[in-house]
């Protein structure tokens, strides 16, 4: 076990975990690194012995499977249209790491027939609760209902940005909308593609200035992921687990209280309430 892993492992043992924790990885702007962070979080947590499910919640344009180099025959879209059983869409990456691809046929849950969406969500709930330590949702870019719902329900609403001003503005906009519409007041921020810690901290300070002034949201800075010019080559090779990248991810995990108590209202009930207003 590397030093990074040991730190997270020891911290995690302090707070014993019972039940499933939900992580939402979201941004406002596209292309900031949500998918690569989701798969690396999944890999790092599973290497720590946690059982992890990654759900590709980018229902328009799924691409988790491309990064992992896996081509699932069936996905959420097939399940949704009755063309696959739930067992058929669950993909085993290794002993502790599983994922579900969304396919490209469902657009927005909030706009689809309520009964069908409810049955899909209840199946996901049955699958995850109690069986996985962590469920990670990789969300699509943009601020739409599904993303707001997943972020507002998560135990760890993890907002990702880069130092680019447009990405920072969109990260703030997402936090503001979820705070105002859902009353969520605790968020975690990660800044990707930075040259160093200092650059990320400045981005955090600029977002905090706005959230302190115009919202009731508290934003907790989880750290940075450095820009690595070789990463694109690894993604082309469908092996996105760069040792330096996972080092940054372990750093982020070491700042998360992974043994956190689950919210009083379950992730799934909050999600359904948010999507269908009850
Ligand atoms: N730390 C990094 N260093 C270098 N390149 C990076 C880094 N993080 C992400 N990238 C690159 O940025 C691009 C977008 O990454 P990714 O697909 O994970 O973003 P995304 O937020 O999921 O995008 P989308 O919003 O389209 O879903 C990829 O080409 C990836 O190689
Ligand atoms: Mg993505």
* Mean pLDDT, 10 residues at a time, the chain of 278 residues: 65 63 95 95 94 86 79 84 87 93 71 80 89 94 90 96 98 97 96 97 98 98 94 79 90 88 82 84
Q: How far apart are CA 136 and CA 266, in angstroms?
A: 15
> Which ligand number lies closest to the CA of residue 29?
1
Q: How far apart are CA 198 and CA 202, in angstroms?
A: 6
The confidence score (pLDDT) of residue 168 equals 98
Q: Tokens 């690894």: give the residue.
A: 234
Q: Is 34 in the pocket of ligand 1 (CB under 6 A)?
A: yes
Q: Is 228 in the pocket of ligand 1 (CB under 6 A)?
A: yes
Q: How far is the CA of 145 from the centre of ligand 1 (A)?
A: 23
The confidence score (pLDDT) of residue 15 equals 47
Question: Phi, psi at residue 118, to the nearest 5°?
Answer: -60, -40
CB crowding 193-218: b at 16 or more within 10 Å, else e: bbeeeebbeebbeebbebbeeebebe
Q: Whose CA is closest to 78, among 123, 135, 36? A: 123
The confidence score (pLDDT) of residue 18 equals 74
Q: Is 61 in the pocket of ligand 1 (CB under 6 A)?
A: no
pTM as predicted: 0.92
Q: What is the chain's alpha carbon radius of gyration, rounded to the nearest angstrom?
A: 18
What is the chain's percent helix, strand, coil content, to nearest 5?
45, 20, 35
Q: How far is the CA of 9 from the centre of ligand 1 (A)?
A: 27
Question: Phi, psi at residue 68, to the nearest 5°?
Answer: -80, -10
Q: Which of 30, 36, 194 to mutate to test the pocket of ligand 1 (most atoms within 8 A of CB)?
A: 36
Q: Tokens 């997402």: give the residue.
A: 174
The pair of three-digit structure tokens given for residue 212, joined into one six-digit string: 């302190």
Taking the CA of residue 140 as reference, the ligand 1 atom at the shortest distance is 27
3-state SS, residue 252: helix
| Partners of residue 22 on adjacent β-strands | 135
CA distances from 26 to 12, 73, 236 (A): 24, 26, 23
């Amino acid at each position: 076990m590397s030093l990074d892993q040991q730190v997270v492992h020891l911290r995690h043992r302090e707070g014993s975990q019972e039940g499933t924790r939900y992580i939402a990885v979201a941004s406002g702007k596209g292309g900031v690194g949500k998918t690569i962070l989701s798969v690396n979080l999944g890999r790092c947590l599973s290497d720590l012995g946690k059982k992890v499910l990654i759900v590709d919640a980018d229902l328009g344009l799924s691409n988790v499977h491309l990064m992992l180099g896996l081509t699932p025959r069936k996905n959420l879209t097939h399940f949704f249209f009755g063309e696959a059983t739930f067992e058929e869409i669950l993909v085993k990456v290794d002993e502790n790491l599983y994922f579900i691809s969304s396919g490209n046929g469902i657009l927005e849950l909030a706009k689809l027939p309520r009964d069908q969406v409810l049955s899909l969500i209840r199946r996901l709930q049955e699958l995850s609760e109690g069986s996985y330590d962590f469920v990670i949702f990789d969300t699509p870019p943009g601020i739409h209902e599904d993303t707001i719902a997943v972020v507002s329900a998560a135990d760890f609403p993890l907002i990702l940005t880069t130092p680019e001003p447009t990405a920072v503005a969109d990260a703030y906009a997402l936090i503001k909308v979820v705070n105002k519409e859902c009353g969520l007041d605790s968020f975690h921020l990660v800044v990707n593609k930075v040259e160093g810690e200092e650059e990320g901290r400045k981005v955090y300070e600029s977002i905090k200035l706005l959230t302190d002034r115009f919202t009731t949201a508290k934003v907790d800075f989880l750290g940075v992921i450095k820009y690595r010019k070789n990463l694109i080559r690894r993604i082309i090779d469908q092996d996105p687990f760069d040792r330096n990248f996972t080092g940054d991810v372990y750093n982020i995990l070491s700042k998360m209280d992974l043994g956190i108590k689950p919210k009083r209202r379950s992730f799934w009930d909050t999600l359904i309430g948010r999507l269908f207003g009850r």
